[in-house]
Structure 1
Amino acid sequence: MLSSRIGILGGGQLGLMLLQAAIDWNLDIHVLDPDAEAPCRKIAPKFTQGSLQDFDTVYNFGKNLDVITIEIEKVNVEALEKLESEGKRIYPQPAVIRRIQDKRIQKQFYIDKGLPTAEFILTDNRADVANHIDFLPAFHKLGRDGYDGRGVQRIPSEADLHKAFDQPGLLEKAVPFEKELAVIVARNPSGEIMTFPTVEMVFHPEHNLVEYLFSPAEISAEINAKAQEIARKTAEAFEIAGLLAVELFLTADGEVLINEVAPRPHNSGHHTIKANVTSQYEQHWRAILDLPLGDTDAYAPSAMVNLLGEPGFEGPAVYEGMEKLLSTAQVFPFLYWKAITKPFRKMGHITIMDKNIEALKDKVKFVKENIRVIS
């Protein structure tokens, strides 16, 4: 298996960290990305520039490979299905990607499988959303192509109906929740399953993407067991091979509900590179190559702060405050090789560790106050 020719669809920061894990095992990696300056470009053994959504490009990229995986869901599934029919090992499987690509199908899947999720209504367009005023407050989500906070609009009242998307989507009941949690699950083709510790995510108030997280989440043993069980059951229901990041709501009355999932390495697992015995990236390789899954135990409590481009700056990236970070114990910056910064663009992340939870929180505050990406 380690001698297989392996392809990654997508050469962004997740692909970069997959490549960094692959170097240890001398894996033969090929990367396809539409951006000639993608983060993976400089270290990928073989890099191809091309569309991830064009049938011929994806098919021709994969036809001489043995195993193909993804770092983003927005890929041509028809090409992957043809490659799979010709004997290529595609993980996550095309059927899983297809189901997850459309949030309407994804949410209905949870209902069909008896998995807990918030109440929702499928909508065809903006006018259709207006027919459900009594369902508000709610979130309107695009069925397809929403990513990194894009494709989600909060619709608190009738006065906000103009914010709804004029495309097929779903109207999801606004659930009063106390915390947003995530569990990353790994499952290999043999059916072995391993979960990472439950994390607690804090989202940016305007841009709906993770600002920072803590691992483990500060929740009761009972809630943790529930979150872990739901994540396992979700991976089993999809029968996925690879990683599945399961994002969850913890409601005010102690319910744990699935928000959505991602069939790949995920922002909620970046800290595992330093903080856990096996990182999510190594675990992904273990899973898709059908190898024994690694130990996911944590060395110490940890946090991860996303390093976002500062508002008001666009141009060549300058990382202000790196000296302060590097002079602080157990603070580890990871930069994504993106030459140009833009407001709120993901430019890197900072992993923070400490045996003392209060000291860990102090370090998070220190990091947030002392590093900026400007131009």
Structure 2
Amino acid sequence: MQFFSSKFKLGILGGGQLGKMLLYETRKWDIHTKVMDASPEAPCKISCNEFVQASLMDFDAVYNFGKDVDVLTIEIENVNVDALEKLENEGVKVYPPTKALRTIQNKATQKLFYTDHNIPTASFTRFAYTSEIEDSISNGGLQLPFVWKSAQFGYDGQGVKIVRTPEDLKDLPNVECIAEQLVDFKNELAVIVARNTVGEVNTYPVVEMEFHPEANQVEYVICPARIEDEVAQKAQQVALQVSKHMNHIGLLAVELFQTQEDEILVNEVAPRPHNSGHYSIEASYTNQFEQHIRAILGLPLGKTDSKVAGIMVNLVGSEGHTGNVIYENIETILKMDGVTPHIYGKKQTRPFRKMGHVTIVDENMARAREVAQKVKETINVVSN
């Protein structure tokens, strides 16, 4: 099949920043794109060939959208999988495959998948409703502290809370959930695995993630991770194990814990380009977005090595600010060597909303980390 400057049509469900960055690559290669998103102001709207405004959870909307494309992919997991499955059965190429997406969409199902395939992960208990947890604590079935996770629709730090006392359960939604062992870890790591339609597989270097303590969002992604080679190899092996059993197509971002004993545990996965791979736009031979396109179209995978050390700083809305966005001091960071801001195109900011990111590249990792700290302290995402 001809993909470039042809009648081929790639469909993307989700029109957020990940989709926008995928479109950088499709425009580079002149691939016709059709995007669907619920928001009339989706960042993708200005960059795709066709835009459809509709809910990603609406069966008919997703089904009718997909009938018109040759290959269908996602930039967010919260989509109607029943519609995707019907399209898949009718011959539309859907990547990631619906079987993998069903497993990943529900965190309880995802955790059971790991235990069923002997993939190391933190111990957990599954609950039909959050309200059942208090009884389990009272009866000695569940020990504090633990991490509460909503089974579905968690995203960008939402649907996750550390529960240290029974009081912490108040105000949590009464939904299907898991209570997961609180892991005493040295580092939070991630590995992105690329797998194309003909079975070629490659991994990006292990990255280290530093999280905001309140928002539960990544503040910094550091590549390469500052860990021993033996630990890095173990992390990549575990990620490949997940990829093999998941049998995904495209990218699979595998988030991991490195314990105090240097064991590697899988936290969760995302079957798409991921925040932990944004550094690759400036730092890698093949960025994660181009790699995803290569994989789902069955093209040869690109080189995943880094050219230089890369650090990504997330730009999120400042606390106390809601409204029209202003990026304070962006001119100041543009004066710094190796600094590239990416603005996602969201006109309205609110506390902790992902509004962009900044990549810092340098041949020297320590110097890159220093500059990243200066960037974080300098730029502010506020409202007028």
Cα deviation 1:211-248 (Å, max 9, x = unaligned) = 11110000101100000011111111110001000000
Equivalent residue for 2:51, pick from 30, 47, 51: 47
* Aligned match of 2:105: 101
Q: Partners of 1:258 and 1:163 in 2: how far apart?
A: 28
Asked whether the equivalents of residues 222 and 311 of structure 2 are also in contact (C-alpha less than 8 Å), the reply is yes
Q: How far apart, in 1, do the equivalents of 2:293 and 2:49 lie?
A: 16
Matched, 1:206 2:214: yes
2:41 to 37, 42, 59: 37
Q: Aligned residue for 1:216?
A: 224
Alpha-carbon separation, structure 2, partners of 1:293 and 1:29: 21
Give the aligned CA root-mean-square deviation in angstroms: 1.1
CA distance, structure 2, for counterparts of residue 151 and residue 374 of structure 1: 25
Q: Distance in 1 between matches of 2:167 and 2:95?
A: 44
Structure 1 counterpart of 2:321, from 313, 320, 332: 313
Q: Establish whether residue 66 from structure 1 lines up as the match of residue 70 from structure 2.
A: yes
The whole-number CA distance in structure 2 between the counterparts of 1:64 and 1:370 is: 46
How many Å separate the matches in 2 of 1:358 and 1:248? 23
Q: 2:346 corresponds to which letter in structure 1?
A: K
Identity among equivalent pairs (%): 50
Mapping for residues 162-181 of structure 1, pairs under 5 Å: 162=170, 164-181=172-189
2:28 aligned partner: 24
Number of residue pairs matched? 375
Q: 1:188 aligns with which of 193, 196, 203?
A: 196
The corresponding residue for 2:127 is 123
Change in Cα spacing, 1:339 to 1:127, as seen in structure 2 (3 Å) is closer
Q: Deviations over 1:187-223 (max 9, x none)?
A: 0121111111110001111011111111000010110
Specify which of 76, 84, 89 is matched with residue 85 of structure 1: 89
Provide the C-alpha distance between the structure 2 equivalents of 1:88 and 1:355, rounded to a whole number of angstroms: 44
TM-score (normalised: structure 2): 0.96
2:173 & 2:382 partners in 1: Cα distance?
32
- After superposition, the C-alpha distances for 1:227-285 in whole angstroms (9 at most, x for unaligned) are 00111111111100010000000011111000000010000001101100000000000
State the partner residue of 1:151: 159
- Structure-2 separation of matches of 1:69 and 1:84: 12
2:53 maps to a residue whose letter is Q
Q: Report deviation, 1:352.
A: 0.2
Q: Which amino acid aligns with 1:83?
A: L
Mapped pair 1:279 → 2:252: no
**Is the CA contact 1:92–1:241 (under 8 Å) kept in the aligned structure 2?**
yes
Q: Give 3-state SS (helix, strand or coil) of 1:282's partner.
A: helix
TM-score (norm 1): 0.98
User: For the structure 1 residues 370 and 26, does the alpha-carbon distance in structure 2 shift closer, same or farther, using more than 3 Å as the test?
Assistant: same
Flag the 1:96–1:311 CA change in 2: closer, same or farther, 3 A: same
Q: Using the alignment, how far apart are the partners of 1:266 and 1:150 within structure 2?
A: 16
Could you report, residue by residue, the CA deviation over 1:117-144 in whole angstroms, capped at 9, with x for unpaired residues?
A: 0000111223321233342210111111
Report what 1:241 is aligned to. 249
- What is the rounded CA distance, in whole Å, between the counterparts of 1:230 and 1:194 in structure 2? 13
Q: 1:291 aligns with which of 299, 313, 321?
A: 299
Q: Which amino acid aligns with 1:361?
A: R
Provide Cα deviations, 1:119-176, integer angstroms capped at 9, x if missing partner. Answer: 0011122332123334221011111111111111211134434355421111100010
Q: Which residue does the alignment assign to 2:277?
A: 269
Name the residue aligned to 1:259: 267
Q: Report what 2:240 is aligned to.
A: 232
- Distance, in Å, in 2 between the alignment partners of 1:197 and 1:205 is 25
Partner residue of 1:335 out of 323, 343, 346: 343
Alignment-mate amino acid for residue 298 of structure 1? S
Give the conservation status (yes or no) of the 8 Å contact 1:80–1:94: yes
- Counterparts of 2:297 and 2:52 in 1: how far apart (Å)? 22
1:7-58 deviation digits (Å, cap 9, x = unpaired) = 0000000000000111111111100001011001111111111111111101
Unmatched 5+ stretches in structure 1? none
**Separation in 2, partners of 1:165, 1:171:** 14
**Contact 2:17-2:44 within 8 A present in 1 as well:** yes
Any conservation in 1 of the 2:130–2:177 contact (CA below 8 Å)?
A: no
Secondary structure at the residue paired with 1:317?
Answer: strand
SS at 1:305 equivalent? strand
Looking at structure 2, the residues matched to 161 and 347 of structure 1 have their Cα atoms a distance apart, in angstroms, of: 30
- Aligned-residue offset at 1:337: 0.8
User: What is the alpha-carbon distance in structure 2 between the residues aligned to residue 130 and residue 313 of structure 1?
Assistant: 35
Aligned residue identity for 1:139: V
Unaligned runs of 5+ in 2: none
Q: Give the one of 15, 18, 22 matched to 2:19.
A: 15
Conserved 8 A contact 1:129-1:164: no
Name the aligned partner's letter for residue 65 of structure 1: V
